[in-house]
Amino acid sequence: MKKTSNKIVLVGTGAVGMSFIYSAVNQGIAEEYVLIDVNTKAAEGNAIDIQDAIPMLNQTSKIKAGEYSDCQDADLVVITAGRPQRPGETRLELIADNARIMKGIAQAIKGSGFTGVTLIASNPCDVLTSVYQEVTGFDKHKVLGSGTNLDSARLKRLIASKLGLAPASVNAFIMGEHGDSSLAAYSASNVMGKSISQIKGENKISEKELEDAWYQAAHMAYEIIERKGATFYGIGVSLTQLSSAILRDEKTTYMISAKLEGEYGQSGFYTGVPAVLSSNGWERIIEWKLEESEIAKFNESCNKLQEVYIIAKEAIK
């Protein structure tokens, strides 16, 4: 394991970004944090607020508000900036505004001389990760999106609750778009080593309950946004988990947004797939043998993302 003595730069100090920083500082995943935001006073205020918490955490982490030049020697840049999703709005409807915002961020980061790994959570995550990688020209392996890591955690929780188990007993995965067109890869999932088909055969869960669990997991954000205006704690912890895997060179597999180049029969864009994370970003995509129905759903999701990616590219011309 790599010693944790790293620098993280966060771009976007809204609720998502600061939930990530709060979680990361609590878990001690890095020694230095820099906050960048178009609202410099907000970045400064957030930095001071976290500085006040550090002495009570028995840590020596440093945090400050900064500029894009601070990216030059960073190990990891995490991007959460963008217009927030409105109640009833899909992630893909955000695309024109946030593609233009992402282009500006990408150009500024590239101009800093940054050579580390970039992790993107701005929505629509998959498409904006594609935009960022195209604008910067960075190695695809050093650019990733938060993908369906949070969606998969939601699915684990829902299935575990149905079975009366702790979420850690369930391995369940959502693939494709971080959004409405995703799919549950139940053929690759298991409960304490038992396949989902075996669990169904034992009448512990039905096909309808599995479909409902996917639907709830994939649409959970809408439910949260309607109730409180935004989602941020879950994605904040998800970003901490992924960042830790990168900074600590874990070589652990997570459901992230990675660029396909022939895997699963698709190429040229980012979407949620299982991939191995290390200090170099994502090393490789794991290809599961999916059922035909799952492959069809994955292809539909990919087609939708490709269509929206075309819209994004038009918006940033």
Residues ≥6 apart with Cβ < 8 Å to 315: 95, 96, 99, 100
Q: What does DSSP say about strands 190-191 and 32-36: parallel, antiparallel, or unpaired? A: unpaired
Query: Could you tell me which of 149, 140, 143, 146 has the C-alpha nearest to residue 124?
Result: 146
Annotated ligand binding at 85? The verdict is yes
Q: Which two tokens stand for residue 56?
A: 């009570």
Annotated ligand binding at 146? The verdict is yes
Annotated ligand binding at 37? The verdict is yes
Annotated ligand binding at 51? The verdict is no
141 is catalytic: no
Annotated ligand binding at 97? The verdict is no
Annotated ligand binding at 268? The verdict is no
Annotated ligand binding at 47? The verdict is no
DSSP structure class, residue 256: E
The sign of the torsion formed by the CA atoms of 288, 290, 294, 297 equals positive
Q: Which two tokens stand for residue 94?
A: 């955000």
Annotated ligand binding at 17? The verdict is yes
- Catalytic residue, chosen from 7, 140, 157, 178, is 178
Query: Collapsing DSSP states into helix, strand and coil, what is residue 202?
Result: coil
Annotated ligand binding at 254? The verdict is no
Q: What does DSSP say about strands 32-36 and 7-11: parallel, antiparallel, or unpaired? A: parallel
Annotated binding site for substrate: 85, 91, 123-126, 151-154, 231
Which residues are catalytic, by number? 178
Annotated binding site for NAD(+): 12-17, 37, 68, 98, 121-123, 146
Annotated binding site: 12-17, 37, 68, 85, 91, 98, 121-126, 146, 151-154, 231
